[in-house]
Amino acid sequence: MCLPNKRSIRHQKSVKSLTDTHRKRANEAKGDRIISGSVVNLQAAESKGHHILVVPKEDFGTDSKSRCHEQPVRKTKAHSTYLRADRDCTPTETPAFTTTSKSMVPRSPQSLPVDIPRYLFTIRSGQVDPMAADFCHFKQCFVLCWSSVVDVLEALQKLLREFAVPLAKVSGERLVELSHVWDSGWSKAPSAMPVLSVLENWEEVSELISHPGQRYKGEGGIEAAAIHIQSSWRRYLARTAYLCHCRRKWAAGTIAISWLMHAQLCRVRKALQARRFSQLENSRSRAQHLAANWKRIQSFKRTIIHIPSLGYSQRKRLNLRGFDILQNTQMSRLCDIRDENVEVIYICPQHLGNDILDYYTSLLKCDGATDGANTTTARASSSVRRYIILTPEAVDYFPTHNMCLSTLLKYSPQTLKHIRNLIQGKQAYIVGGVAHMDDLAVADELGLAILGPEPAIAQHYSTKSGGRRLFVGAEIDVPPGQGDIYSLNQLHETLAELMTQNTDVQRWLFKIDSEDGGRGTAYCDTCHLSCYKWALQEYHRYGPELWNPKCIQETVLLRYLDEIPEWLTHYAQPAKTSCYPNWACFLKTFLRQGGVVEAYPPSNSVTCLTVDLLLEPGGEVTMLSCGDQLHGGCKLEAIGSIVPQSSVHPETLNSICTRVGRACLQRCIVGYVSVDLVTFLDHNTMEKKVWAVDLDITYSNQLAMTQMLLMMTGGTLNCRTGCLEAPIPIREKCYEHQIVPKVPVENLCAVIGNHLVHSDLSMLYNKVFLMMCNAHGIRFNKKVTIQN
């Protein structure tokens, strides 16, 4: 039989001597068998490096019976013998010995079985019965490698005891194979699955072992449970402490970063406040210098920098479509060059095509003002001319941010540098649009004064409530109403009180403070109020003289308070549904930004007019334009005007405008101001009334169009007399040495539009549109004197 390698070393000498003694006997048996327990084919076995132990027949005596029982000599057969070099121990079939005599004679080779027998034994409750026949037979067959088998068997028994497995059937062959792998590869005990693979009923045992809590039912289960509980508790404590540490660390980091950001933000805010305060102080000092030298500046050559910026709030700017187009609706400011002492630098919020530039060049040729005119962008350079159009380079950097023009110019250093070069050594000042804080930054960069109020003052009095307060301070008639409304209860109570005191008003207007141009206006008619007729009856029953005491009005007031909420919900509607689709949206903005409740004139014939004033820094008030408004589909939005106005007597209008101008000057408001008035016939007194309804502290579209009108006609507008006079063109030719007669003048009436809106205009190129207008005779053609 094969012996482990370490045993072969011990018997090397005896094997060598026995091999020589029995070589002859082996040759007689034809070299294929050794009868008395010898190895088959000795020469072949020796050639393969195996050490063969041959036991003589005499060793099978009676006194060696116990030794043979412990180490039985097996007959080696080709089909049942595995020859391994080291410690492989594969069972061979035990030869059958006869017991008829004391000398044991093995059976013939033909009677030996061919298949390897299966070695199965049972482990109950994690213990092997050492006296069981199946286990004894297994142990007997693998006694030479039993030391390796015992280790695996003990690990298996321990596993079964720990999990309280009642019955396990072990396959001996798998157990031996696992012992070989254990000895050769594993330095530690294997996991449960390889050990359970030696079982015949391993599926049942695996299912039992995988059952939760099964480990704690077996051997050492209480200790294992205690250890598991302790480890889980320690893990929980450690995990809790770690998470707490992580939260504290994260909180500390967050607090540190927040504090650093807060400190940095405070520093930046302080720096910005200091810079803005410095800009404001510089602006005030330059404004004082402008006021002191205004007369002299107006009489000499000067440069006007027009920045038609719309300094609305960010929320409003983001909600406006085509914001760059809205800021460019006053290109007619270029017509200021009709004064020979004026040069204009116009800041354009968008890049203009050559067709538009050519159009304005030809338009301004009527008085030779374009001699030497130049149009350029911020990246071009040119000499100083009568007018120049500049586009800030920041327009390309912020195409979708809807920034006001002053902000874009502030972030355009090349344009600012270009402007400084153009105004170097000249008298110049800035004419802006809707005031913004960045106006001060641009003025400080250029070192120029702004013909306008400070941004904070302008924003305060440009609101509906602010304008109403200014009109009241100027002792000008205003519609019945109330401003600075910020809550729904205040709105209902104010409206009920106003309706009780003014029963003849049939429509009430609601205006958002920060909106303009009819965008933030809604209305509601009293005819939809169920108690309105009853209130009129009560008013007529007491009469106008007895109606004023509040004790008499209390019944009507309470009735109004009950019905006004539902009345507004069902019948109030915005004037422009494109801005606010319903009353709920309008009311939300109205209460957030504040607003005014005003009465609509109680008359069927109402005329609105706009007057543009110049509040000179020297303290004088000049009327520049006046016109009756034209209304389109929305009766509360002006789309144009008729110049000059004819609805109010010029003296009355002059008196109102003078008082408004003085009130503005008292509040440090200078520059261009636009006042909206309404006039109607009072049916009670049959007198014409004029109400001041709105104040815009900006350069208006009507004023810009009036400048173009005066330049195209060569006329003059006298707002004190309400006359627009223009010279009549002379059609006859003037011959040489002929005295040119005095050009006669005539009174004109002009209709001007703020902007042209058509849904299909975006589909046409500007040049094509201008050619179509020219083909249809839509153009201004001024006839001038022809001299030979």
Segment 320-328 shows an average pLDDT of: 89
478 and 611 part of one domain:
yes
Beta carbons of 464 and 478 less than 8 angstroms apart: no
Q: Which of 459, 477, 511 is the last residue of a domain?
A: 459
CA 41 to chain centre: 90
| Phi/psi of residue 656, nearest 5 degrees | -65, -45
454 and 466 part of one domain:
no
Q: 455-500 pLDDT, tens per residue?
A: 999 999 999 999 999 999 999 999 999 999 999 999 999 999 999 9
160 and 179 part of one domain:
yes
Tell me if 537 is assigned to some domain. yes
Tell me if 573 is assigned to some domain. yes
Kindly compute the dihedral angle of the four CA atoms of residues 356, 357, 359, 365, in this order, to the nearest 10 degrees. Answer: 160
Q: 89-143 pLDDT, tens per residue?
A: 545 443 333 333 333 333 333 333 434 446 888 899 888 888 988 889 888 888 8
544 and 626 part of one domain:
yes
Half-sphere exposure of 3 (CA within 13 A, CB side): 17
184 and 291 part of one domain:
no
Report the residue count for the chain: 788
Per the prediction, the chain carries an average pLDDT of 79
Tell me if 147 is assigned to some domain. yes
* Sheet strands side by side (includes 745-747): 716-718, 723-727, 745-747
Tell me if 355 is assigned to some domain. yes
Q: 519-536 pLDDT, tens per residue?
A: 889 999 999 998 989 988
554 and 568 part of one domain:
yes
Q: Between 719 and 729, whose confidence is greater?
A: 719
Tell me if 278 is assigned to some domain. yes
Instruction: Return contacts of 681-688, CB within 8 angstroms, 24+ apart.
Output: 681/603, 681/605, 682/602, 682/603, 683/602, 683/603, 684/504, 688/648
Residue 621 CB neighbour total at 10 angstroms: 18
Q: Which of 459, 474, 493 is the last residue of a domain?
A: 459
| Phi/psi of residue 782, nearest 5 degrees | -95, 125
175 and 292 part of one domain:
no
Q: Which of 459, 490, 507 is the last residue of a domain?
A: 459
Q: Give the structural domain span for 166.
A: 120-223
Q: Between 687 and 438, whose confidence is greater?
A: 438
Is the pLDDT at 625 greater than 50, yes or no?
yes
Is the pLDDT at 228 greater than 50, yes or no?
yes
Q: Look at the alpha carbons of 148, 154, 160, 166 in this order and tell me if their dihedral is positive or negative.
A: positive
574 and 715 part of one domain:
yes
Is the pLDDT at 762 greater than 50, yes or no?
yes
Nearest to 438 by CA among 398, 405, 399, 391: 405
439 and 480 part of one domain:
no
Segment 166-194 shows an average pLDDT of: 77
Q: What is the pTM of this model?
A: 0.69
Is the pLDDT at 740 greater than 80, yes or no?
no
Domain count across the chain: 3
Q: 136-175 pLDDT, tens per residue?
A: 988 888 888 888 888 888 888 988 998 899 999 988 888 8
448 and 510 part of one domain:
no
Q: 30-45 pLDDT, tens per residue?
A: 333 333 333 333 333 3
**Which range (229-238, 267-276, 644-653, 737-746) has the least confidence?**
737-746
Give 705: exposed, middle or buried? Use CB within 10 Å, 0-12, 13-18, 19+: buried
Q: Is 282 helix (H, G, I), strand (E, B) or coil?
A: helix
Residue-level pLDDT at 650? 92
Task: Spell out the residues 6+ positions from residue 395 whose beta carbon is closer than 8 angstroms to its own.
Answer: 324, 349, 350, 351, 408
Residue-level pLDDT at 682? 85
Q: Which two tokens stand for residue 568?
A: 């507004």
Q: Which residue has the tokens 């008395």?
A: 36
553 and 701 part of one domain:
yes
Q: 49-102 pLDDT, tens per residue?
A: 443 333 333 333 334 333 333 333 333 333 333 323 334 454 544 333 333 333
Residue-level pLDDT at 6? 37
Going by their DSSP bridges, the two strands 481-485 and 595-599 should be labelled as antiparallel
Q: Where are the alpha helices (DSSP H) in 187-301?
A: 192-196, 202-209, 221-292, 294-299
Task: Spell out the residues 6+ positions from residue 475 whose beta carbon is closer than 8 angstroms to its own.
Answer: 659
Q: Which strand (E) or helix (H) includes residue 431?
A: strand 428-431
Mind spelling out the 3-state secondary structure of 734-777?
ECCCCCCCCCCEEECCEEEECCCCCCCHHHCCHHHHHHHHHHCC
Is the pLDDT at 598 greater than 80, yes or no?
yes
Tell me if 578 is assigned to some domain. yes
433 and 467 part of one domain:
no
Q: Between 25 and 561, whose confidence is greater?
A: 561
Q: Which two tokens stand for residue 158?
A: 């321990």
Q: What CATH number should be reported for the domain holding residue 426?
A: 3.40.50
Q: Between 651 and 778, whose confidence is greater?
A: 651
Residue-level pLDDT at 735? 52
Is the pLDDT at 636 greater than 50, yes or no?
yes
